[in-house]
Structure 1
């Protein structure tokens, strides 16, 4: 379903900004502290590990919402306090996300290798923006696929282990305890500025509209016309360019993903959520595929690997760049400009 805006809720002129903004931040701070408690109390058994992983995801979600809200509605807060807490929450969210990101990237790449080499079970899904099909088991790809998988597993498992250690160190640091203390205070008292005493329709809604407008402008700058045509190969061509060129070509899409998140959270504050789930998932796929392609290219640059291994990694890289293209196609299909918000 295209991401159209939910029916706009007219803010009553008597509703003050602080009556919407403060409760939202209170709720997110409470969720943050609850997730932190579950994470700390999780055991070492498999169920405890699953609980800890779920708590870490919830912790990151609350941190993102608080940080995004402080960003969008910064003029309504004590700006010095908001800027400090926002930067610290961004640090924490990034540290906690890396371990999960490496694990997910490894699973994605190994599954793709199995599919491409014919080792995977079941039919290969065909992306709407690219051709599908798997190699025959006797193809030359299978020669290097096992070694390519082993190389990726070594590299990404090492990175995941380091990320896990960094997360544990961060959670035990004085810096993290300062962040937790700040969020605990946020659960009871939000340092708002004088502007928060104004009606929400006059100051809160325009800031939410500004977040939506920035999203519109960023989407308008994307090459959606090209993305609408399957097999355009733009993502693959740029993916074969040197790393800075590839990253620069992906960056506008990553930026739209962040703006879409800011827009969604801003609409939550004014209790008028936007239907952006399909578009958001397409952009998540885009990011995951782009980062997986980068990991495959990095592994292919490992010194003294066998030609068959390098070939398998090259095919894997091309496959993930095709997935980037498919994600852009999916976003283009899902996206329809949101109805212009009233000033």
Structure 2
């Protein structure tokens, strides 16, 4: 496949130099400080569920931190190396820490919605007294380890059943659309375990979200964060460029970022992504090994490189790129990340020792459903990427 360029806007007129980079970094630093002030004014740390303003301010903090860190990475030849290498990992730490709480919340919502859909009910089946007791037993069983193998077997069986039901039903033409198990008996078995599976996931991910919230509050009150904020405050007025940066063109490092992206995409198994279901994805997901799925890492890397490429275009053009295809490719990779992490959460819950067979079955089906969504997102990215045309010199 020929290398393709995602930037299809009109060519720039005139050379873009380090002055544009300095202006961009100052603007992002100003946005960071504005979001920090708003976050403190809303008193977001007083409650677990912050107001809409506090959520927006936290998102703006992450947004600015990511853009500053990404730009420092792409254009590092034009910046003071000691200063750049000192602040860049700190900004990455901050944005990653602030993103965790939202990630757990979104993951839980995604998994519960999938359970609703797969069980054929408008909402998660109501937990009866027996179901509630069973859910509590499932949660309590997390501290036991003597029956983990049987739970994984049940989960894997459900996963294989869901995968078999989907291979014929999910065609590439409607990849990403909700699909449903076709066998009534399987749906009945899924409905039985869906309530307890949902309760188990809710308990695990809510606990993880609570811990992430506490971690974020501790981070925002730490001396490490205050040191980052002080450096960003200095950046808002003074950008430590090299002596030659004011006249050096920005196209060279920006083009290098694009080439890293196209090389990474060229290494992806796009042919396999054209299939409606990748059964190999199930082999690792429910294995005893809790490590991240090995197939997903190259796709996550492409997502990061695509983000860096988009930030570089923002620096060059002074505005967010409006390339629809670039947007579609990024959205597909975001869906890929979300589905991959949701599948991992379902698989982790299925590894809980001594859970009921119906619960393990429901989690196995849920895992297969999310791995199917991973494949659908890969196919969507393939379609968006192949629509690109090679720019003529």
Structures share fold, TM-score greater than 0.5: yes
In structure 1, runs of 5+ residues without a counterpart are none
Give, in whole Å, the separation in 2 of the partners of 1:212 and 1:338. 15
Task: Tell me the equivalent position of 1:296.
Answer: 346
RMSD: 2.5
| CA displacement 1:238-264 (0-9 Å, x = unmatched) | 545564776221000000000000000
Q: How many residue pairs align between the two structures?
A: 332
Give, in whole Å, the separation in 1 of the partners of 2:268 and 2:286. 20
Match of 1:169 among 199, 207, 218: 218
Stretches of 4+ moved more than 4 A in 1?
43-48, 134-138, 240-246
Instruction: Give how far 1:332 is off.
Output: 0.7
Of 102-111 and 37-46, the range deviating more from structure 2: 37-46
Give, in whole Å, the separation in 1 of the partners of 2:344 and 2:175. 20
Whether 1:133 and 2:184 are equivalent positions in the alignment is no
Instruction: Give how far 1:134 is off.
Output: 5.2
Instruction: Give how far 1:194 is off.
Output: 1.9
Query: Any conservation in 2 of the 1:118–1:134 contact (CA below 8 Å)?
Result: no
In structure 2, runs of 5+ residues without a counterpart are 124-169
| CA displacement 1:186-230 (0-9 Å, x = unmatched) | 000000112303242xxx101100000110000011111121232
Query: Any conservation in 2 of the 1:296–1:316 contact (CA below 8 Å)?
Result: yes
Task: Tell me the equivalent position of 2:30.
Answer: 30
Paired residues for 1:151-300 under 5 Å: 151-200=200-249, 204-237=250-283, 239-240=285-286, 243=289, 247-271=293-317, 273=321, 275=323, 276-300=326-350
Instruction: Give how far 1:139 is off.
Output: 0.8
Match of 2:366 among 299, 312, 316: 316
Query: Any conservation in 1 of the 2:292–2:344 contact (CA below 8 Å)?
Result: no
| TM-score of the two chains, using structure 1 as the length reference | 0.89
Task: Tell me the equivalent position of 1:339.
Answer: 390
Whether 1:114 and 2:164 are equivalent positions in the alignment is no
Query: Any conservation in 2 of the 1:233–1:325 contact (CA below 8 Å)?
Result: no
Give, in whole Å, the separation in 1 of the partners of 2:389 and 2:89. 30
| TM-score of the two chains, using structure 2 as the length reference | 0.79
Query: Any conservation in 2 of the 1:224–1:332 contact (CA below 8 Å)?
Result: yes
Query: Any conservation in 1 of the 2:78–2:244 contact (CA below 8 Å)?
Result: yes
Task: Tell me the equivalent position of 2:132.
Answer: none
Change in CA separation of 1:4 and 1:70 when aligned onto 2, cut-off 3 Å: closer
SS at match of 1:259: helix
Task: Tell me the equivalent position of 1:79.
Answer: 81
Structure whose alpha-carbon radius of gyration is higher? 2
Task: Tell me the equivalent position of 1:103.
Answer: 105
Instruction: Give how far 1:31 is off.
Output: 0.6
Task: Tell me the equivalent position of 2:55.
Answer: 53
